Amino acid sequence: MARYIMFQGTGSGVGKSLITAGFCRMFARKGIRVAPFKAQNMSLNSGVTPFGEEIGRAQMLQARAALIDPDSRMNPILLKPQGDCMSQVIVRGKIWETHEAYEYYQYKKFLWEKVVESMNSLAEEYDLICIEGAGSPAEINLREQDIVNMSVARYAQVPVFLIGDIEKGGVFAQLYGTWALMIQEERELLRGFIINKFRGNYAILEPGLKEIEKLTQIPVVGVVPYSRFQLEDEDSMTEKIENSYKLPKTADIQVGIIRLPHISNFTDFDPLTNEPDVEIQYIFPDENLSKFDVIMLPGSKNTTRDLQWLQKFNFQERLESYINNGGVLLGVCGGYQMLGESIIDIDGNEDYQGEMDGLRIIPMKTFFEKEKTLKTLQGCLAKAEHISVKGYEIHQGKGFIQQAYEPLFNLNLGNRIEPEGIVINNQIFGTYLHGLFDDGSFRRYFVNLLRKRKGLGTISAVSPSWQEMVEEELDRLADFLETCLDIERIESLMENF
């Protein structure tokens, strides 16, 4: 019979995802068969499992931390916001329906059945399930609709550890207020507090730790110092986007990434931060483009709405001027579609029905379909077979290029090779492949291409793959948590539950 541990938070962004990932790696290194689980996730960053299922990036990372393949049972319900309180609902890795919040809650019985079915199935295969909550269990207006926090804990009688973020301020009020708003049955499942992102002198904090334990009779099982890890973020409101504005621009190659309102899978660009000669900045479309060596247009969960948003800034004219002055352009997934001649959505799969003009940089028409393309892929650069690439596709539109073209990649599809993407004059690039920069060889090829255009010498050294770096970071995360949390006490609280 599987054991459980659950990490809930006093709010969003307190560190639940990373701490859960750290515990997955920690237990996996002990030889325990561990699997992550998050009943319901709301995120625009998703990934594709080896089974062609779509789940949240956080659970993809946690599965990697657990040294297992991800599957849709680990995140049975995924909500992908599309604007105006509408979300696309992914159930067990496939599109189910699109709903606004009020309608969504009417389907609680069906969704809860999927949650229970998934959790029970994992429990049959693994020794330990590391569960992540969502938001806060103190959202009392949603208690009756909850299928991700205390409903999960009560169903499986799971020991819960509550995480508070001291950097936000008022951490003791966060912890006490959450505890106070729990009903008695829920408090009985609460086994410990974790304070995250601490900076400063521990001695100053200590009186508060004693007081919160006295008030609640719940032990503080650790204080986690503030630290940075190069691991994927779940949400678009991420520090890396905000902080990119504050970094001094000193590297040889400057990358500008358009910060779309519905930006998704911006983790595609994280590996570029591993290159010593590259700096990236998330920018708005009305900023000065000329200072960047390449402009990247990322994926979007609402491609047509983001395209309309870009057009308000006369972005087509601005891009044409940028390209005419020698700038390089890369569009990925939704960004690739926007660069085409038009987008046709007959069924209104997003919130626009009909044909919409694109930015007309690439001779391509995109047709949206109800079924979503979900697959993992690997291959090579079309013009250089020794430069490998690996990633995944996740999109509803299919692009049809209107003239002869040079493909960007050649991808392996069983017993055949399929060209993918487009290259125009070695200056304009488009692709559906997420994760294209994960492999160090293509990443360095692309950066060297930018260096050549700028008159700089190329760099031959290839950085490690992003996945190798992620493995090192997951081990570092597990080591870090072992030093600042009372792991023996946590395990004892689990065992004596």
Measured in whole angstroms, how far is the alpha carbon of residue 167 from the centre of its chain?
A: 22
Give domain status of residue 270, yes or no.
yes
Six token digits for residue 437? 């920069």
**pLDDT the model gives residue 104:** 82
The reply to whether 212 and 331 lie within a common domain is no
The helix (H) or strand (E) run that includes residue 48 is strand 46-48
The domain tally of the chain equals 2
Say how many C-beta atoms besides its own lie within 10 A of residue 475's C-beta: 15
Residues 220 and 271 in one domain: no
Same domain, residue pair 361 and 400:
yes
pLDDT in the model for residue 371: 82
In a domain, 237, yes or no: no
Nearest Cα residue to 224 out of 410, 401, 14, 71: 14
Residue 460 lies in a domain: no
Residues 224 and 361 in one domain: no
Q: Could you tell me which residues come within 8 angstroms of residue 299 by beta carbon, excluding any fewer than 6 positions away?
A: 263, 264, 265, 266, 268, 332, 333, 334, 335, 395, 434
d(CA 323, CA 13): 38
Query: Are residue 444 and residue 482 in the same domain, yes or no?
Result: no
Determine which one of 24, 130, 262, 333 is catalytic. 333
pLDDT in tens, the chain (497 residues): 789 999 999 999 999 999 999 999 999 999 999 999 999 998 878 899 999 999 999 999 999 999 999 999 999 999 988 766 778 899 999 988 887 777 888 889 999 999 999 999 999 999 999 999 999 999 888 888 899 999 999 999 999 999 999 998 999 999 999 999 999 999 999 999 999 999 988 899 999 999 999 999 999 999 999 999 988 765 544 566 666 555 656 899 999 999 999 898 888 999 998 899 999 999 999 999 999 999 999 999 889 899 999 999 999 999 999 999 999 999 999 999 999 999 998 776 666 778 889 999 999 999 988 888 899 999 999 999 999 999 999 988 888 898 889 999 999 988 889 999 999 999 999 999 999 999 999 999 999 999 999 999 999 988 888 889 999 999 999 999 999 999 999 998 888 66
What does DSSP assign to residue 463? P
Q: Is residue 169 part of a domain?
A: yes
Residue 335 domain-assigned (yes or no): yes
> Is 395 known to be catalytic?
no
340: CATH? 3.40.50.880
What is the residue-wise DSSP string for 148-216?
Answer: SSHHHHHHHT--EEEEEEGGGS-HHHHHHHHHHHS-HHHHTTEEEEEEEEE-S-HHHHHHHHHHHHHHH
Query: Residue 83's pLDDT is what?
Result: 66
The values of phi and psi at residue 476, to 5°, are -65, -40
Can 386 be counted among the known catalytic residues?
no
Judge if 259 and 157 occupy the same domain.
no
Q: In what order do the strands lie in the sheet with 220-225?
A: 34-37, 128-132, 3-9, 160-165, 190-198, 220-225
Query: What distance in Å separates the CA atoms of residue 169 and residue 165, rounded to the nearest whole number?
Result: 7
Q: What residue numbers bound the domain in which 17 lies?
A: 3-231+470-496
Do 140 and 285 have their domain in common? no
Is residue 463 one of the residues assigned to a domain?
A: no
